[in-house]
Amino acid sequence: MPLPTPFFPRTSALCHSMKWKEWAGYYAVCSYETLHDTEYYAFRNSAGLLDVSPLYKYRVTGPDAAAFLSRIMVRNIEKLAIGRVSYCCWCDDHGKVVDDGTVMRRGEQEFFVTSADPCYSWFSRFLRGYKVELSDISDQVAGLALQGPTSRDILKQVCDADLDGLKYFATCKARVNGFEVYISRTGYTGDLGYELWVDHEHALKLWDAIMAAGKNYDIRPAGLDALDVTRVEAGLILKDVDYFNALHALIDDRKSSPYEISLGWTVDLDRAPFNGQAALQAEKEEGSKWAIVGLDIDWPQLEELYYKRGLPPVLSNHAWRSSIPIYTAKDKRIQAGYATSGTWSPILKKNIALATVQKKYDKIGTELQFEVTVEHVRHTVSAIVSKTQFYNPERKTFTPKSSKS
């Protein structure tokens, strides 16, 4: 039986569609209205407010906190500056990804970590020898994502933080009407946006303050359906959809290295030992087997298939997450890989997908064949390998008061 998050009194009052799902043991709204379109456009045009409390959250403190996290993460956390956030993944001994999340450095000896799976037991396996304290604060800290072009303006009305100076992937402490929140300029929409972390007791006050301030900026509560569309547009991968936690994978073939899931850029090999280092070093030298790529699925061809059946081309406005076979352009009997999630992008007007393909097919511009079913009959249409990041607006990283120092 899922639990309500601290925002439930507000979210449940607003969720007219009655569409909920379970997320990490909590109730989460799929969409507040029957169709999620307005929520999607809020993320892209104004601001959407999303309850992300079900994420797992950990606090790591102590003199060895940075060294300890560096031992676990594929990135070198010792190099992370105070007030900065690092997007990371962490691996088992064989260099296979266990989970991904963010690490925020709040102080010399204080870090805040988010993850998709419970990781307390995994992290604590490596505690020995480090002067650190690891605490699971998942049930004490609530999270809100305020995402979209007007999010900065809204947040300015609510708190005292220097938001014009807060850079992409930076974090700071702020005060809202007498209580404290942590703000990080992060999110899962690939747009300008913030995530706010607040103690349970102040959660509703924070929600109310943001919603009130957002009135003039077209704020809307947004659910996971809209988020799912934006995250595919942004090329952000999702655990249990685009890859699997190595500790839970039933067979080895379901495990992936960071290189294979487009997170190779996060791997910092040349440093003190960390989990999976040797295996990742070897993989870097020998090459990986798989790669996650973006697929731009040919629209005219798809349209044609629909027209042939006398139908207009209608795609669901929901992002999908089922495995779809991808074939080589030359020979439709040879499978090059499989798509794991995709969506019709309302803003790009493109049919896009994230796919895992054999390494030899991962070059940008490579033509592949994507399986589609039109009126119960299977066909393939051409799909071009592209960057996973389909949508990347300038505002995402733009900082008005870009401090030169």
Partner 1 sequence: MSKKYDAIIIGGGHNGLICAAYLAKAGRKVLVLEKRHVLGGAAVSEEVYPGFTFSVASYVVSLFRPHIIRELELAKHGYEVIPMDCSFLPLPDGDSLARWADPHRSRREIARFSKKDSEVYPEFSRVMTHMGKLAKAVIDHPAPNINSIHPKEIANLLRLGKAFKDLGPDLLNLNIKLVTMSALDFLDLWFESDVLKAPMSVSGIIGTFQGIRSPGTAYVLLHHYMGQLDGVFRSWGFSKGGTGGVSMACARSAMSYGAEIRTEAPVKQVLIKNGEATGVVLENGDELYAKTVISNLDPNRTYLKMVGESHLEPDVLKDIKRFKLRGSSGKVNLALDSVPEFSCRPGDGDHIRGDIAIAPGIDYLERAYDQAKYGEFSTRPYINAVIPTLTDPSLAPPGKHIMSCFVQYAPYHIKQGAENWPKYREAFGDTVVDTLAEYIPGLKDKILFRQVLTPWDLEQTMGLTEGNIFQGELSLEQLLFQRPVAKYSGYKTSISKLWMCGSGTHPGGGIMGASGELCAKTMLTSRAI
The residue ranges that bind partner 1 (CB under 8 A) are: 1-3, 22, 24-25, 118-122, 124, 136, 247-248, 250, 252
Q: Round to whole Å and give the CA distance between 271 and 25.
A: 37
- CB nearer to partner 1: pick between 246 and 357: 246
Q: Smallest distance, Å, CB 247 to partner 1? A: 6
Query: What's the CA angle centered on 323, arms 374 and 361, to 5 degrees?
Result: 95
Q: Smallest distance, Å, CB 58 to partner 1? A: 11
Q: Round to whole Å and give the CA distance between 8 and 347.
A: 30
- CB nearer to partner 1: pick between 248 and 401: 248
Q: Smallest distance, Å, CB 115 to partner 1? A: 11
Q: Smallest distance, Å, CB 13 to partner 1? A: 24
Contacts of range 16-24, beta carbons closer than 8 Å, 24 or more positions apart = 19/223, 19/225, 21/224, 23/54, 23/224, 24/54, 24/55, 24/56, 24/116
The DSSP H or E segment spanning 67 is: helix 65-72
Q: Round to whole Å and give the CA distance between 129 and 107.
A: 21
Sign of CA dihedral 347, 348, 352, 357: negative
- CB nearer to partner 1: pick between 16 and 248: 248
- DSSP bridge partners of 372: 379
Q: Smallest distance, Å, CB 120 to partner 1? A: 5
- CB nearer to partner 1: pick between 252 and 286: 252
Q: Report yes or no: 358 and 311 within 8 Å, Cβ to Cβ.
A: no
Q: Smallest distance, Å, CB 297 to partner 1? A: 35
Q: Smallest distance, Å, CB 74 to partner 1? A: 21
- Residue 394: strand, helix, or coil: helix
Measured between its terminal Cα atoms, the distance across the chain in Å is 51
- CB nearer to partner 1: pick between 175 and 248: 248
- CB nearer to partner 1: pick between 161 and 224: 224
- CB nearer to partner 1: pick between 247 and 315: 247
| C-alpha dist (Å) from residue 226 to 58, 119, 191 | 27, 27, 13
Q: Smallest distance, Å, CB 231 to partner 1? A: 22
- CB nearer to partner 1: pick between 118 and 346: 118
In eight-state DSSP terms, residue 401 is: T
Q: Round to whole Å and give the CA distance between 268 and 331.
A: 38
Residue type, 113: V
